[in-house]
Amino acid sequence: MKIEINDFLKPCSCGRKHEIVVDDIIIDSGALKRLPEILNRPAYADKKNRVMICDKNTYEAAGKEVEKLIPDLKKVVLDPNNLHANEHGVGEAKKGLDAIGGADLMIAVGSGTIHDITRYHAYEMGIPFISVPTAASVDGFVSTVAAMTWNGCKKSFTAVSPVVVVADTDIYKKAPLILTASGVSDLLGKYTALADWKIAHAVTGEYICKEICEMEYQALDSLIKSLDGLITGDTKAYEDLMYGLLLSGLAMQMTGNSRPASGAEHHMSHFWEMEVLNDYIDFYHGEKVGVGLILTSKIYHKAAEKLEAGNFTVKETVELETDLIRANYNKPGMLETIMKENTPNLLENIDSQKLVEKTDEIINIIREIPTAEELTAMINKVEGVKSLADLGFEESFQYPTAQLSPYVRQRLTFMRLLKFYDFYEEVLSC
């Protein structure tokens, strides 16, 4: 399977000229063997100081083979224990790069963490990198930002997309099922991310591209049909999952930000990663997104029931909950970051009357999201994480998570808009 990049560069009905900053994407059995040919292409042939970034696990999974294929390849092999996309992981990679004299092209062999560390350094060094995924675990392989936890806060750093993705099905389908389940949950998270985007568009007129939304929905449809095949190791099912994950990354490139792929479900994941009210939890990004997705779906569907009943009122204005933020985002340096992130207050210019006028449209958008029960059944098929209890939290943790997590990002979601409604407290506790 080869993704034709030019197909995404055609004129779009939204009126914008979309940009893609990856040259080639190959998803195929044995795709890794094409690395020498790729490196001989004119754009990369003069890059002789090539460095592979991996960890000890991904070196065994694919790095050894990459080493055989590319003569004179240098490598930085990181310790996978407690390796995260944060200042520590970036620092460890920099030590390795400095020790071997830098690079003019890097090859990221791994999953999300290795890719974020590599894209961060590729941007800082002004060099290209090639992606070799070892698991279909996240949708960020072709992201142009590095999502990191930096000094306790979740931040998106300007970074670069890989110039080429070489996704060898023979490699990533052998990854532990827990990683595949993480990718499934990350992709399923687009249901609520897209709903948030569409509701924000309905209420504020925020830019939206229907073709990008449709592209994401097609990937979701394909994923749902592939869930059984992921358990049996079906090659096409794994290719469809990887295709959907990469498509989500391309949607972000085309939009110019993560709007098509990240909404309230991701904000919950970021909230837990920032350890605002909880201690560190050792789960993959997609696993946390999956739990956030199920909670968000449950809350949104409960809100839709309230909206449909019609017996509700809407506040004229909603001020930034400064006292609440100060009381909870109180780790050193965190409060300043969160306050900056929430300036200006996203709810300041919301027309409450427009919320009322758009009630039917909001209900219809929420109805497009599978129910919490349906999403739980999907994630169950791949033995994934699906509840607060699975993460080690009490069920009562839903309320503070839903209340506080919208503040981790300067992005309008329905979870934040819910603060206008008189049924807010009830739906957060559902």
Question: What tens digit of pLDDT does each residue of 337-367 get?
Answer: 999 999 999 999 999 999 999 999 999 999 9
Domain shared by 195 and 103, yes or no: no
Specify whether 225 is located in the same domain as 249: yes
pLDDT at 394 over 90: yes
Kindly state whether residues 151 and 45 are assigned to the same domain. Answer: yes
Question: For residue 54, is it within any domain?
Answer: yes
Claim to verify: residue 212 and residue 337 sit in the same structural domain: yes
Q: Which of 150, 174, 198 is the last residue of a domain?
A: 174
CA distance 177 to 59: 18
Residue 12 contacts by C-beta under 8 Å, 6 or more apart in sequence? 18, 209, 211
pLDDT value for 212: 96
Judge whether 259 and 192 are in contact, CB under 8 Å: no
Same domain, 71 and 215: no
144/293 same-domain check: no
- Compute CA 272 distance to the chain's CA centroid, rounded to the nearest angstrom: 15
User: What average pLDDT does the chain have?
Assistant: 95
- Would you call 33 exposed, middle or buried from its count of C-beta atoms within 10 A (0-12, 13-18, 19+)? middle
| Structural domains counted in the chain | 2
Q: Are residues 211 and 332 in the same domain?
A: yes
Q: Is residue 42 part of a domain?
A: yes
Q: What is the CATH number of the domain that holds 270?
A: 1.20.1090.10
155 shares a domain with 103: yes
Q: Residue 124's pLDDT is what?
A: 94
349 falls within a domain? yes
The label of the residue with tokens 């349906």 reads 374
Residue 37 forms part of a structural domain = yes
Residues 54 and 127 in one domain: yes
Shared-domain flag, residues 19 and 147? yes
Q: What is the largest CA-CA distance in the chain?
A: 70
Side-chain half-sphere CA neighbours of 386 within 13 A: 18
pTM above 0.85, yes or no: yes
Summarize pLDDT for 40-53 with one digit per residue, the tens.
999 999 999 999 99
CATH code, domain carrying 169: 3.40.50.1970
Q: Are 386 and 321 in contact (CB under 8 A)?
A: no
Specify the pLDDT at position 228. Answer: 95
Within a domain: 182: no
**What range defines the domain where residue 25 resides?**
2-174
